[in-house]
Amino acid sequence: MLKVEHIGIAVKELPGAIRIFEKLLNTKCYKTENVETEQVNTAFFQKGTTKIELLESSINDGVIAKFIEKKGEGIHHIAFEVADIEAEMERLKGEGFILLNEIPKPGADNKLVCFLHPKETNGVLIELCMERKECNL
Ligand code: ZN
């Protein structure tokens, strides 16, 4: 793992949350993106080399909607950048962690991602992410 790439925050309503984080971070949201496969609308902020990803459910009973129903708004996941996502998935599987997807899947912000089950990580949902390159599109 290279570094914390971003922190994902579940929000009820994206436009209002964007305004709050623009004020908080004193920087403009640089990208919004709908990720159909995850049923989320996302918004990204960058501070230094770390990003904040706001996540709003794009459908009524999506995973983010369910998360907010159970726990309220707040930190949803921590994403670590990795150099080789498949190698890191193999390593973590060998260490006994449970992967929520067996093959890397396309995520927001031009990334390939894999999530780890929070049961094995002290309740924190962990995302591995790697920049998508031409060859692995
Ligand atoms: Zn994320």
C-alpha 27/C-alpha 65 separation (Å) is 27
Give the Å distance between the CA of 94 and the centre of ligand 1. Answer: 23
Neighbours of ion ligand 1 (CB under 5 A): 8, 53, 79, 127
Give the Å distance between the CA of 79 and the centre of ligand 1. Answer: 6
Q: Is 129 helix (H, G, I), strand (E, B) or coil?
A: strand
H-type helices in the chain, by residue range?
Answer: 14-25, 63-71, 85-94
Give the Å distance between the CA of 66 and the centre of ligand 1. Answer: 17
Q: What is the pLDDT of residues 51-75, one digit of tens each?
A: 999 999 999 999 999 999 999 999 9
Give the Å distance between the CA of 95 and the centre of ligand 1. Answer: 22
Give the Å distance between the CA of 127 and the centre of ligand 1. Answer: 6
H-type helices in 36-107, by residue range?
Answer: 63-71, 85-94
Give the Å distance between the CA of 53 and the centre of ligand 1. Answer: 6
CA distance between the termini of the chain: 22
Q: What is the pLDDT of residues 37-55, one digit of tens each?
A: 889 999 999 999 999 999 9
**Residues 66-95 as b or e (16 or more Cβ within 10 Å = b):** ebbeeeebeebbebbbbeebeebbeebeee
Q: What is the pLDDT of residues 62-118, one digit of tens each?
A: 999 999 999 999 999 999 999 999 999 999 999 999 999 999 999 988 899 999 999
Give the Å distance between the CA of 96 and the centre of ligand 1. Answer: 22
CA dihedral 86, 91, 94, 99 (to 10 degrees): -50
User: What's the pLDDT band for 135 if we cut at 50, 70, 90?
Assistant: low
Give the Å distance between the CA of 7 and the centre of ligand 1. Answer: 7
Query: Which residues neighbour 2 within 8 Å (Cβ) at sequence distance 6 or greater?
Result: 80, 81, 82, 83
pTM of the model: 0.92
Task: Report the residue count for the chain.
Answer: 137
